[in-house]
Structure 1
């Protein structure tokens, strides 16, 4: 990503409706897989907001678990240090510095689509490698190439995915898809129009992302939309949206 985007992310990652709502959706999809004593890896942890959420949520729920994070960005590591996160390492998601079968869960939130990730399949295979048999991975990526915009230029997007292509790559990495859905659905029409207007060629100068503080009205509307989606996802998957999400597991046995 452009270095300035890490500062933008750090400023709003704890408070912006999008981050809060997508964590709520993640919690619904993970469900009761977050068991006491779990070791969770945030593969591509960015400025550390989700890693802090893992540890903080564990404390509130009385389910002690340990979060680890990796990111290749030096800027990201600096912000993780500012959060006093100790279990972080500067490393590529395509070459994780951990032993095989050492984690119960892996998070990959908006990571494998970046230009800086040399191979999304290699990253997914690394996630599978470090998972214990029966362990889970939650992978989220932006959806639909038609929505490529100045935001994507700022965060160095290689591609946006359809759910079918994400499922295919997750399966190719040796994981079993348990759940697949789109998310950020209710606001999709508004966001789609905005993204199409903000084509990279339409904006002069250095592109900037959509990551910025929201007005009170936008915060309230966005929060409500993602709360409703989280409730809906307790019962069914969503047919379209700005994000594609797959929950997958590592097989307990490999049949040869």
Structure 2
């Protein structure tokens, strides 16, 4: 991703954009319902921590280390959250960077869909090796290839995962799944329509121009009323999915354990 995209993501985190706000809510619920961390000893690794908003949230549950390959993103984190421990490096360097370290929780929030992540299976296997027995893996990715659109190219999206593909990867790495669900099912119809328009429109215009227009729309700050409305929809949907996991959505979540 380019520098402007990282700056936009940082602004959205600072503005408490509904997408990041609902992630914090989900994280808190999973911590309280499944993981029960002992803050004094709990070690967390946040792989692909981006601009650091979620890493900051994770720091409330234990000692967290963020891993991020992009120097611009690392610079933004250190400027905004100077107390966070951030390691600059990629997913292919996990076992080298953290040799001799073990973690109670590893998180991967929308990372392995990027073109830079060439082998998701190996990343999960390496993460498994770095975890303590009984440790937890929380993994989310954009779901369903049919939803891929021009905005995905802007953030260097190589793939969207099918939920069954994610299940196969994480179980092959040695984890036992404790909970899984699609996320943002309420957004799926609109996302599908937008993907169809993007992919099959007969209107011809320069690709860069289209992507810049789409970038400005996707990164634009929402009015507070709309932002709160979308957050509350996501929050209600999550509460439902905790009892009745969703089978359709724009992304997929897996919570698994090293047994």
TM-score normalized by the length of structure 1 = 0.88
Would the aligned equivalents of 1:104 and 1:132 in 2 still touch at CA under 8 Å? yes
What do residues 67-97 of structure 1 show as CA deviations (whole Å, max 9, x unaligned)? 1100111111101111214311101122221
1:189 alignment partner in structure 2: 189
Counterpart-to-counterpart distance in 1, 2:136 and 2:258: 6
Q: Does 1:245 align with 2:253?
A: yes
2:70 alignment partner in structure 1: 73
Shift of 1:33: 0.8
Q: Does 1:125 align with 2:146?
A: no
Would the aligned equivalents of 2:64 and 2:84 in 1 still touch at CA under 8 Å? no
Shift of 1:126: 1.7
Would the aligned equivalents of 2:47 and 2:106 in 1 still touch at CA under 8 Å? yes
What do residues 19-61 of structure 1 show as CA deviations (whole Å, max 9, x unaligned)? 1012212332343414122111101100100011112x44xxx
Shift of 1:225: 1.1
Counterpart-to-counterpart distance in 2, 1:11 and 1:203: 29
Higher helix fraction (1 or 2): 2
Would the aligned equivalents of 2:56 and 2:84 in 1 still touch at CA under 8 Å? no
User: 2:108 aligns to what SS in structure 1?
Assistant: strand
1:232 alignment partner in structure 2: 240
Counterpart-to-counterpart distance in 2, 1:221 and 1:195: 23
Gaps of 5+ in 1: 59-64, 252-256
Q: 2:90 pairs with 89, 92, 95, which one?
A: 92
Q: How many residues matched?
A: 244
> 5 Å matches for 1:60-209?
65-83=62-80, 84-96=82-94, 97-99=97-99, 102-199=102-199, 204=206, 205=208, 207-208=211-212, 209=215
Counterpart-to-counterpart distance in 2, 1:217 and 1:86: 32
Counterpart-to-counterpart distance in 1, 2:193 and 2:130: 40
Counterpart-to-counterpart distance in 2, 1:34 and 1:51: 18
Counterpart-to-counterpart distance in 1, 2:27 and 2:200: 30
- CA RMSD for the aligned pairs? 2.0
Shift of 1:250: 1.1
Q: Does 1:44 align with 2:44?
A: no
The more displaced of 99-108 and 235-244 is 99-108
Counterpart-to-counterpart distance in 2, 1:153 and 1:241: 20
User: 1:104 aligns to what SS in structure 2?
Assistant: strand
TM-score normalized by the length of structure 2 = 0.87
